[in-house]
Structure 1
Amino acid sequence: MIDAVIVFDLNAQITLANKAAESLLLARDGVLLNRHLEEVCSSPERVITPMIREVLTTGKEVFTETVIRPHTQIYRVHVVPIKEESGEIEGAVAVFHDVTDARNFDHMRSEFVGNVSHELRTPLTSIKGFVETLLDGAMENSFICRRFLSIIDAETERLNRLIEDLLTLSSIESRERIIRFKPVCLAHSVRSVMNILGPQISEKSLHVEFIYPSNLPRIQADEDLLGQVLINLIDNAIKYTPRNGTIVIR
């Protein structure tokens, strides 16, 4: 996309504007010339006009980011002075560069990092809980030891997949997340999550009931993402259920 460019004289009147600038300000061909910005549009003048006058006064370039109404795009506005060979200021140039996609990407990246951080924290908490239990004496029971180690192994694999997704930042740029659909047993997923959150459940002495029909069909889903949804739901239930309380999953 071509940047909008507007040239101002010492009186802050427009002396030149390209087609992109006319489109940005919704102005007809030639309407902008020899007029002040506030005469032709109301939205940007509150932000841009003071910048123009500052540059014309100080001779120093200024930057800002703003939305030019009625558009919804975010523009980076760069205003620089025009100087003669003697150094005297004879005008200013304002360049409007659309940075909407870049800012949206920044927002998506922040959300992605926040979500992944939360997803990483849950398996790490579970692994730590099972390791502590093993170190406290559960290793003496071979059945419990193997069960806990199996859960730790599964959570380690999930962590590895999460890290792979984190490193694949192209999935953010394409505004997509890698989704691996396959037939998933919902009952198995719920039981797995109950095992993962076992230390938190035991810590509050909670009773968890899982009620489901014996003929519950498999569903097409991403097992990791489904597991994370279930972890979030059951983890919240654990947090907000009083000690010695009951959680019912249907």
Structure 2
Amino acid sequence: MSSASVVGTRGLSFAYRAGAVPVIDDVSLDLPAGAVCSLTGPSGSGKSTLLYLLALMLRPAGGEVVWDGRPASSLPDAARSRLRAAHVGFVFQDALLDPSRTVLANVCDAALFAGMPRATATARARDLMGRFGVEHRGDHRPGEISGGQAQRVAICRALLTDPRVVFADEPTGNLDDTSAEIVWQALVDHAATGATVVVATHDKTLAARADHEVRLTVEGRVTTRTGVGS
């Protein structure tokens, strides 16, 4: 496990409207590469918000998200989009697959946006879908597959470009134990390649298995734990 940091924050603050109590308040973090980091805390503590800030999907009210030691959240929208396309995989809480597209198209779309040739994206997608046992669902629509299969498809989409950083928002929250373990192990395996994996979760058992834990409070503060994941 590497201790080098790809993504972090410096004095990060965020509120959903001017004058509101900050959801995130003066947070400074360095998230290690080659590790799984869990974001934990009670409902309303800002786990998903911090995840979206780190992934450059939200702009902070104060402070900065940094990538490779350089300010990133203050970049223009187009530059932030390019950075996400090139380096980020995101697993949304409820998969968020496009119901009008096939499962295979859903897996490939982000890679095509990032500039991967269609033939390469399709071949890699089929390989990943085979690994996660959903290759036979490629021509189906998302509404025709189970929740566990949809989340495996979302993992395939997130990993297709071999991203340096994967963000996952409650990726096992609605899954049975077997599907949850498959999803978790996929994230662990990706971290083992040297990537940074950041998982927002309510699951205390999974959080305890992470290499690094960031605990958030409803007051917007954080504490951290570093240990040995599995």
TM-score (norm 1): 0.22
User: Which structure has the greater CA radius of gyration?
Assistant: 1
More helix by share: 1
Structure with bigger RCO (C-alpha 8 Å, 6+ apart): 2
